[in-house]
Amino acid sequence: MNTCIVGLQWGDEGKGKIVDTLAEKADIVVRYAGGANAGHTVVIGDTKFALHLLPSGAVRPETTCVIANGVVVDPDCLTGEIDSLAQKGFTLTGRLFISQNAHLVLDYHKAEDQFRENSLGKNKIGTTIRGIGPCYADKVGRTFAVRAADLADLDALKQKLVKIVGHKNKIFTALYNAEPLDAEEIFEKCKLYAQKLVPFITDTTQLLHKAIEQKKSILFEGAQGTLLDLDHGTFPFVTSSNASSLGMSAGCGVPAKNVDKFIGVAKAYTTRVGSGPFPTEQNNDIGSYIRDRGHEYGTTTGRPRRCGWFDAVAVRYSVTIGGIDAIALMHLDTLSGIKQLNICKAYKIGSEDSTFFPSNIETLAGAEPVYQTVDGWDEDLSGITRFDDLPENAKRYVALVEEFTAAPVSIIGVGPKRRQTIFR
């Protein structure tokens, strides 16, 4: 059984928790897109792990972890993550495989991300400043790309870096009045990365297809969320990869026909970090209540997340374009104590009601949510393990989510821990 887990909103839906939970029965977990902009939280007992580049299978000692070609790898972050997990007893030796074709995020990408955001002022995208956009731009541009395989030929890499850094410095000093970066210094760091990472670098496409032949069970771990997809999200307030399930095949060389199930992860409400339209945002006491109860602060940047009502129009769109078979509805516990809950079931755009998510942000910015209001519940859900034991109003809420998104809810999250999960 191969399963792809993907975010249906603007990221941080709880993918890490679901991947970790399902990884119990998987042989391999694969990250296929994004980079260290991701922050996937896994809680084991009282220990919390925030994974940025390693697949969430990393905290299961028997699980093989693959970082496929579609990921942009920040070697500084990755080597740090490998060391920090090793200190906690989770060694990656022999079970981590990094695609030779994955592109590397280097210092000049992170610098450029910061320069660009600063130059945009209040129109900034609100990126994570992890160098994601500039690295994917170099990948598409080809001329200045550095890939994981380049770490295996240091002489050639040195020459490449001198050329690239020289070019970048001309731009950075002219446009941003920046201090020039030192190619030699970046190269010295790359030598250290090479020592640590080269043993893990391989042909992951071949590895995955062999695993498929051997009927191994693979989990594909999406990063970000469908509404942040470069082509299908709320452009330009998106990330620079295909963060929907549509990016899975391109990101690891495995066709969708090899995936048995696509599970979309959504919170029982909506959050967003960074800029861009957010029709159901509650910049008020409700938003603060959700933020406090749900601990809605960024895993990667610590920024407070913008919070709002569940947007079924947006999630239905993500389900539709992503071929989603079932929803994992997280954080149902966080909604306890709200007297009346709203679910956005349509947008009023001009004089018309529409249930289809608009494909441009100008229309989205003018969309007014049409809400279905339902009674909430006061009970603490965090100890419930069976759907039947949920309060009637919580069950009704889940049923409405299913009705308005046109997808079954097969998993419900009632807390951050592994066992705080209801399967139906």
Q: Check binding of 358 to ligand IMO (CB under 6 A).
A: no
Per-residue mark of binding to Mg ion, 292-331 (x: CB under 5 A)? -------x--------------------------------
Q: Check binding of 7 to ligand GDP (CB under 6 A).
A: yes
Q: Check binding of 130 to ligand IMO (CB under 6 A).
A: yes
φ/ψ of residue 3, rounded to 5: -130, 140
Q: Is 70 left (phi over 0), alpha (psi -120 to 50) or beta?
A: alpha
User: Least distance from C-beta 228 to ligand IMO, angstroms?
Assistant: 5
Cβ contacts of residue 388 below 8 Å, gap of 6+? none
Q: Check binding of 316 to ligand GDP (CB under 6 A).
A: no
φ/ψ of residue 269, rounded to 5: -140, -165
Q: Which is nearer to ligand GDP, 297 or 356 (CB)?
A: 297
DSSP bridge partners of 346: 370
The C-alpha atoms of residue 134 and residue 116 are separated, in whole angstroms, by 10
Among ligand IMO, Mg ion, ligand GDP, none, partner that 128 touches (CB below 5 to 8 angstroms by kind)? ligand IMO
Which of 57, 9, 1, 2 minimizes the C-alpha distance to 328?
9
3-state secondary structure at position 322: helix
Among ligand GDP, Mg ion, ligand IMO, none, partner that 333 touches (CB below 5 to 8 angstroms by kind)? ligand GDP
DSSP bridge partners of 71: 34
Does the N-terminal peptide bond of residue 416 adopt cis geometry, omega within 30 degrees of 0? Answer: no
Whose structure tokens read 């240091």? Answer: 154
φ/ψ of residue 415, rounded to 5: 165, 165
Per-residue mark of binding to ligand IMO, 250-279 (x: CB under 6 A)? -----------------------xx-----
Q: Which is nearer to ligand IMO, 133 or 358 (CB)?
A: 133
Among ligand GDP, Mg ion, ligand IMO, none, partner that 14 touches (CB below 5 to 8 angstroms by kind)? ligand GDP
Cβ contacts of residue 176 below 8 Å, gap of 6+? 115, 118, 119
Among ligand IMO, ligand GDP, Mg ion, none, partner that 273 touches (CB below 5 to 8 angstroms by kind)? ligand IMO
Give yes or no: 40 in active site.
Answer: yes
Q: How far apart, in Å, are the Cα atoms of 367 and each of 266, 276, 279, 349, 370?
A: 21, 13, 7, 5, 9
Sign of torsion over alpha carbons 53, 54, 59, 60: positive
For the packed helices 107-120 and 183-197, what is the interaxial angle rounded to 10 degrees? 120
Among ligand GDP, Mg ion, ligand IMO, none, partner that 416 touches (CB below 5 to 8 angstroms by kind)? ligand GDP
Given 20, 40, 150, 229, the catalytic residue: 40
Please name the helix (run of DSSP H) or strand (run of DSSP E) that holds residue 38, with its range, or none.
none
Q: Which is nearer to ligand GDP, 188 or 292 (CB)?
A: 292
Q: Check binding of 41 to ligand GDP (CB under 6 A).
A: yes
Applying CB under 5 A, the site for Mg ion has a residue count of 3
User: Least distance from C-beta 378 to ligand IMO, angstroms?
Assistant: 30
Q: Which is nearer to Mg ion, 301 or 372 (CB)?
A: 301
Give yes or no: 325 in active site.
Answer: no
Q: Check binding of 13 to ligand GDP (CB under 6 A).
A: yes
Which of 39, 70, 47 minimizes the C-alpha distance to 241?
70
Using CB atoms, what's the residue nearest to ligand IMO? 274
Catalytic residues: 12, 40
Tell me which residues touch ligand GDP (CB under 6 A). Answer: 7, 11-17, 39-41, 43, 294-295, 299, 330-331, 333-334, 413-416
Tell me which residues touch ligand IMO (CB under 6 A). Answer: 7, 10-12, 37-40, 125-128, 130, 132-133, 223-225, 228, 237, 239-240, 273-274, 299
